[in-house]
Amino acid sequence: MGLLIGAAGPHVDSAVHERRSFSANDTISARMLNHTDLAFRTALPNDLERMHGIRRAAILGVQADLEPRAREAWANRRRPDSFVGRVVGGEVIIASLAGEDVGWGSSGADHISALYVSAAYARRGVGRALLTKLEAAVAQRGYELVRLESSVNAVSFYERLGYVQSGSLRVDGSLPMVKRLPGPAREPTTPTSSSG
Ligand SMILES: CC(C)(COP(=O)(O)OP(=O)(O)OC[C@H]1O[C@@H](n2cnc3c(N)ncnc32)[C@H](O)[C@@H]1OP(=O)(O)O)[C@@H](O)C(=O)NCCC(=O)NCCS
């Protein structure tokens, strides 16, 4: 996903499609997340190293059938300063759980450009919560359709959260996806009173 999703996906083996089923433990750990412990902030330049560490921990923990070398190559594709433009532009949201930074994502215009959750904190609802924040930012900029390019391992995650495929698999292994955002709340229309 940029997010890579723009350019961050494995892009290594387009045959890697993770659609694993979930164990009882996954469900329990998801329930364990106390959302009152989850906090969000806009990233600052002194967060760049931390963001890089989270991204690395997220990618190296991907469960899909990815060779360790492929994971390492994906993780090494960016450096801390690769995200400086997005940080300076105020595009990056960091999620912390009980005071620890565990995930981050970014968006610009109608595009979600990154989403990472440290593998140690996966499947607890952090990714969903971050994505909701990013979608709200896209909606606030006036867009009704949000788009991203998913790495193959994350396609099921995005489908779960309402995204649908919007194009064919790209040569870099990413899949374009879109989601329609709920429109702005409309004032109830008041019937025009007819003067008689
Ligand atoms: C993809 C990623 C952001 C998901 O974050 P997460 O915090 O584990 O996701 P959540 O716990 O919020 O999951 C939300 C829902 O999606 C499901 N889900 C999460 N990962 C999934 C996967 N790989 N396949 C299928 N469903 C998945 C969860 O079970 C949950 O469903 P439920 O609420 O109905 O039980 C995280 O795994 C990650 O950082 N991966 C590596 C980097 C990456 O691929 N980023 C995205 C594309 S570049």
* Domain range 24-180, CATH class: alpha beta
**CB 106 near ligand 1, within 6 Å:** no
Nearest atom in ligand 1 to 63's CA: 23
Helix (H) or strand (E) holding 146: strand 145-150
CB 148 within 8 A of CB 3: yes
**CB 105 near ligand 1, within 6 Å:** no
Q: In this structure, are strands 92-97 and 38-42 parallel, antiparallel, or unpaired? A: antiparallel
In order along its 196 residues, the chain shows pLDDT tens digits of 444 443 344 332 222 223 233 333 343 344 456 667 899 999 999 999 999 999 999 999 998 878 899 999 999 999 999 999 999 999 999 999 989 999 999 999 999 999 999 999 999 999 999 999 999 999 999 999 999 999 999 999 999 999 999 999 999 889 999 999 987 655 655 554 433 3
pLDDT for res 26: 40
* Mutation probe of ligand 1 site: the residue of 29, 100, 123 with most atoms within 8 A of C-beta: 123
Model confidence, pTM: 0.83
**CB 150 near ligand 1, within 6 Å:** yes
Q: In this structure, are strands 145-150 and 164-165 parallel, antiparallel, or unpaired? A: unpaired
pLDDT for res 192: 46
**CB 173 near ligand 1, within 6 Å:** no
Q: What residue's CA is closest to ligand 1, atom 18? A: 157
Nearest atom in ligand 1 to 129's CA: 12
Residues in contact with 149: Cβ distance below 8 Å, sequence separation at least 6, in sequence order: 1, 3, 4, 5, 6, 9, 170, 174, 175, 176, 177
* Cα 35 from Cα 143, distance rounded (Å): 27
Nearest to 124 by CA among 58, 26, 190, 18: 26
